[in-house]
C-alpha cells in the first residue's frame, strides 16, 4: 500500500528546484546580462579615469608658438554614488545655484546612473585646490584632468579656429568620441583634428569609501597610456599677421598674403576679429553667444574665405590675359575712351587719362572703356559662331585661375564666389537672346561676378608666377617628419600661355610707378599692383588692391579689401604696401603713413 503523503516529496523537490533555478537565472542575469550592479560595485573601489592627451602645439613659420595647452579639470559625477551630499557647499565651491545643480544632476542621470559624466567642466586651478580638500565629503564626485587651449599672441582667430564639445551625432558615427570630449570646430583645429587630437588613455584607480584615491589597480597592469597629438608648423608669419590685424582695426574687410612659389599663406586677416582666448576655457559658451549675437561686427565671420565681392578693376587683368589667349588683343591693341564707353543705352563712365590706350596703358590707367571693347571682342571676334560658345571658352579660362570654385584648402568654410554660366544668362534673358553688350559689365569686373579675398590673393600669386599656382594652404609641416598633402605641392597651370603675362605685368608695374596705385611705392622695391573699386549697392564702394613684390623673384602676393573704403587707392593701396614693406624689410620706415592707417577708421 502506498504510504500517505508519499507524493508530497516530489512536490517539495519541484519547489526547491524551481527556487534554485530562479536564483540561478537571476544570478546569471545580474552577472552576465545586466552590468549595472557590476558597474556600481566596481565604482565603489575601482574607477576608470580617461587620460586625455595633450593636443598638438601649433607654431608659426618661424617657430613662434601660436597655440599651447594649459592644465584644467572637469568635475565628474556618478549619480548612483551621490549620498549625504551638502548641496549648498558644492554649489558654493563651483559657483552655481541649486536650480543649475538640479538640472545637471537630471542630465547626468538621464545619461547613466552608474557611469561617470561631466558635472562642471574646465574648473580653474584655484577651484580645483578647494575641491581636492572637500572631495571626501562629496560622495559620487571626482576630478578628472584635461588640457585647455591657450593663445599667447591672441592673433589669427579665424585661421587657428577653436575646439568645443563633440556633438551627439558625431558620437554615434565615430566610436573614438564620448560625451564630454572635445573636437576641433573651426579653422585648422577642425581640418587637422586627427593629427592634433592624439590618442586617449585609461587609468584604473582604486578609491576607498571616503572617495580618497588609493593608487593604481594592480600597479597599472590594465592601464593604457595616452599619446599626445602631433605638432603643426603653419605657414603664417606671426609678426605679419599681427601687423595686418592692427592695420585693419576699426575697418571691415580682409588681408590675404601668399608666398607665390609655394602657395603658403603668410597672413590671413579677417576684420573685425576677436581674441581666440575668448573661445577657450570656462566661459567659452557665454563668450561664443556674445560674439554670435554681435550682428553689426560679425566677428565670427571669416571674410577672407567667405565674403564675396565684385572684383572691380582687378578683373581687367584677367580679361587682358584671356583676350590675348583668344587672339583678339595684342600689345598695341587700342580702343577709344571719351571719359567712358557710350553706345546706345550703355554709358560706362571713366576717368581722365591719355587715350586711346594700348594694352599696357589700359592697365596702368584702368580704362573702363578699353575693357568693355575688349570683352566685346572676346565674345564676338574669337572665332566662335555663337556667343555662348565664345563665352564658354572665356569661362573655361577664368575658372582655371581658381575663380568660381573652391580650392578645398586646409581652412574650412571657403566659398566659391560666382562666375555666371551661359545657362544663367539663357534663363535671365532667353536662350540665344543675349550678347556681349548685354553682359558688358563682366569686362570691368562688375555685374554678377563675385570673388573671395582668398581667390584674389591666389590670382595675384598666379600673376607673380606667370601662369601657375599651388593651392593656398596654411599648414607647412606636420610633426617633424610628415609632409603635407601632395595636392598642396602639385603645380596648377592656368589656361593662358606664359608669354602673355609679360605685358600685363609691365602694366601692373606702371600702376605703382605712375598709375592709379602710386601710393604703394616703396624705396628700392619694384612691385606690380592693380587697384579696384567694387560697387556696393548698400553704401560706399569697397576699396580693393592686389600687389606682388619684388617684381623679379616675387616673395609675397597680397590682396586687400576694405569694405566701404571707396577708391582702391584710399585704403587698400597703403595697407597692402605697408604689409609688403613689413614682410620684406622686417620694419616700416614710412611712419606717417603707418600711423594714418593704424589710427584710421572706416564708417560702415
pLDDT of residue 13: 67
pLDDT of residue 281: 81
pLDDT of residue 210: 59
Extents of the domains making up the chain: 48-230, 238-291+302-599
Task: List the one residue out of 344, 336, 406 whose CA is nearest residue 372.
Answer: 336
Which CATH superfamily hosts domain 238-291+302-599? DD-peptidase/beta-lactamase superfamily (3.40.710.10)
What is 35-60 written as a DSSP string? Answer: -HHHHHHHHHHEEEEEEPPPPPPEE-
Strands (E), 17-116: 46-51, 58-59, 65-77
What is 381-406 written as a DSSP string? Answer: SSS-SSHHHHHHHHHHHHHHTTTTS-
Task: List the one residue out of 507, 505, 527, 520 whose CA is nearest residue 573.
Answer: 520
pLDDT per position as a tens digit, 518-568: 999 999 999 999 999 888 878 888 999 999 999 999 999 999 999 999 888
Mean pLDDT, 10 residues at a time, over the chain (604 residues)?
A: 58 72 66 52 65 93 96 88 87 90 92 85 84 84 87 97 90 86 94 94 74 69 86 98 97 98 98 95 88 94 96 97 97 90 82 90 94 95 90 97 96 96 95 92 95 98 98 96 91 98 97 93 95 86 96 97 90 97 96 96 87
Task: List the one residue out of 360, 361, 252 whose CA is nearest residue 298.
Answer: 252
Strands 346-349 and 340-343: antiparallel
Phi, psi of 156 (to 5 degrees): 55, 40
Phi, psi of 533 (to 5 degrees): -130, 110
pLDDT of residue 39: 46
SS3 102: helix
Identify the bridge partners of residue 202 per DSSP, sorted by sequence position: 50, 224
Q: In what order do the strands lie in the sheet with 253-259?
A: 264-271, 253-259, 556-562, 542-549, 528-534
CA–CA gap between residue 364 and residue 353 (Å, rounded): 10
pLDDT of residue 604: 76
Task: Give residues with Cβ within 8 angstroms of 96, minimum separation 6.
Answer: 104, 120
CATH number of the domain at 48-230, out of 3.40.1190.20, 3.90.1310.10, 3.60.40.10, 3.90.70.10?
Answer: 3.90.1310.10
C-alpha cell at 305: 574665405
Task: List the one residue out of 453, 449, 448 whose CA is nearest residue 407.
Answer: 453
pLDDT per position as a tens digit, 139-174: 888 888 888 899 999 999 999 999 998 988 888 888
First to last CA, the chain: 114
pTM, to two decimals: 0.87
Q: Do 360 and 506 form a contact (C-beta atoms < 8 A)?
A: yes
CA–CA gap between residue 361 and residue 181 (Å, rounded): 60
For cell 609641416, name the residue. Answer: 477
SS3 512: helix
CA–CA gap between residue 260 and residue 590 (Å, rounded): 25
Amino acid at each position: 500500500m502506498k504510504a500517505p503523503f508519499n507524493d508530497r516529496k516530489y512536490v517539495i523537490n519541484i519547489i526547491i528546484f524551481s527556487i534554485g533555478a530562479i536564483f540561478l537565472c537571476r544570478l546569471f542575469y545580474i552577472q552576465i546580462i545586466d552590468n549595472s550592479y557590476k558597474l556600481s560595485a566596481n565604482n565603489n573601489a575601482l574607477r576608470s579615469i580617461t587620460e586625455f592627451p595633450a593636443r598638438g602645439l601649433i607654431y608659426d613659420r618661424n617657430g613662434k608658438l601660436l597655440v599651447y595647452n594649459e592644465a584644467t579639470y572637469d568635475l565628474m559625477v556618478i549619480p548612483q554614488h551621490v549620498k549625504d551630499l551638502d548641496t549648498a557647499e558644492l554649489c558654493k565651491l563651483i559657483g552655481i545655484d541649486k536650480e543649475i545643480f538640479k538640472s545637471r544632476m537630471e542630465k547626468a542621470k538621464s545619461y547613466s546612473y552608474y557611469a561617470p559624466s561631466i558635472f562642471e567642466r574646465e574648473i580653474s586651478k584655484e577651484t580645483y585646490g578647494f575641491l581636492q580638500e572637500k572631495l571626501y565629503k562629496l560622495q559620487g564626485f571626482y576630478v578628472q584632468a584635461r588640457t585647455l587651449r591657450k593663445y599667447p599672441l591672441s592673433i589669427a582667430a579665424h585661421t587657428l579656429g577653436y575646439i568645443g564639445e563633440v556633438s551627439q551625432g558625431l558620437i554615434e558615427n565615430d566610436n573614438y568620441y564620448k560625451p564630454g570630449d572635445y573636437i576641433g570646430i573651426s579653422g585648422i583645429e577642425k581640418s587637422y583634428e586627427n593629427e592634433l587630437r592624439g590618442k586617449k588613455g585609461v587609468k584604473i584607480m582604486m578609491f576607498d569609501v571616503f572617495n580618497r584615491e588609493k593608487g593604481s589597480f594592480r600597479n597599472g597592469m590594465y592601464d593604457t597610456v595616452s599619446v599626445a597629438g602631433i605638432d603643426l608648423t603653419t605657414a603664417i608669419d606671426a609678426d605679419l599677421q599681427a601687423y595686418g590685424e592692427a592695420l585693419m582695426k576699426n575697418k571691415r574687410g580682409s588681408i590675404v598674403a601668399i608666398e607665390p612659389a609655394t602657395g603658403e599663406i603668410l597672413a590671413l586677416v579677417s576684420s573685425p576679429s576677436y581674441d581666440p582666448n575668448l573661445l577657450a576655457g570656462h566661459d567659452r559658451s557665454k563668450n561664443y553667444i556674445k560674439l554670435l549675437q554681435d550682428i553689426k561686427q560679425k566677428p565670427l565671420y571669416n571674410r577672407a574665405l567667405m565674403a564675396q565681392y565684385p572684383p572691380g578693376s582687378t578683373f581687367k587683368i584677367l580679361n587682358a590675359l584671356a583676350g590675348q589667349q583668344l587672339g583678339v588683343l595684342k600689345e598695341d591693341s587700342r580702343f577709344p575712351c571719351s571719359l567712358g564707353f557710350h553706345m546706345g543705352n550703355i554709358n560706362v563712365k571713366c576717368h581722365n587719362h591719355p587715350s586711346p590706350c594700348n594694352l599696357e596703358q589700359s592697365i596702368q590707367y584702368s580704362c573702363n572703356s578699353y575693357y568693355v571693347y575688349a570683352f566685346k571682342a572676346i565674345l564676338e571676334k574669337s572665332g566662335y559662331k555663337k556667343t555662348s560658345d565664345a563665352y564658354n571658352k572665356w569661362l573655361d579660362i577664368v575658372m582655371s585661375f581658381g575663380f568660381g570654385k573652391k580650392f578645398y584648402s586646409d581652412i574650412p568654410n571657403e566659398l566659391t564666389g560666382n562666375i555666371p554660366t551661359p545657362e544663367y544668362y539663357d534663363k535671365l534673358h532667353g536662350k540665344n537672346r543675349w550678347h556681349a553688350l548685354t553682359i558688358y559689365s563682366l569686362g570691368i569686373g562688375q555685374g554678377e561676378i563675385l570673388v573671395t579675398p582668398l581667390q584674389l590673393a591666389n590670382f595675384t600669386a598666379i600673376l607673380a608666377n606667370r601662369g601657375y599656382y599651388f593651392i593656398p594652404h596654411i599648414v607647412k609641416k606636420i610633426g617633424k617628419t610628415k609632409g603635407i598633402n601632395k595636392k598642396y605641392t602639385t603645380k596648377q597651370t592656368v589656361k593662358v600661355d606664359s608669354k602673355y603675362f609679360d605685358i600685363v605685368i609691365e602694366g601692373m608695374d606702371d600702376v605703382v610707378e605712375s598709375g592709379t596705385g602710386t601710393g604703394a611705392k616703396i624705396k628700392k622695391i619694384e612691385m606690380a599692383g592693380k587697384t579696384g573699386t567694387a560697387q556696393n549697392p548698400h553704401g560706399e564702394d569697397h576699396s580693393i588692391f592686389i600687389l606682388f613684390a619684388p617684381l623679379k623673384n616675387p616673395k609675397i602676393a597680397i590682396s586687400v579689401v576694405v569694405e566701404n573704403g571707396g577708391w582702391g587707392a584710399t585704403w587698400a593701396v597703403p595697407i597692402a604696401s605697408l604689409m609688403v614693406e613689413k614682410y620684406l624689410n622686417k620694419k616700416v620706415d614710412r611712419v606717417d603713413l603707418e600711423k594714418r592707417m593704424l589710427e584710421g577708421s572706416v564708417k560702415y
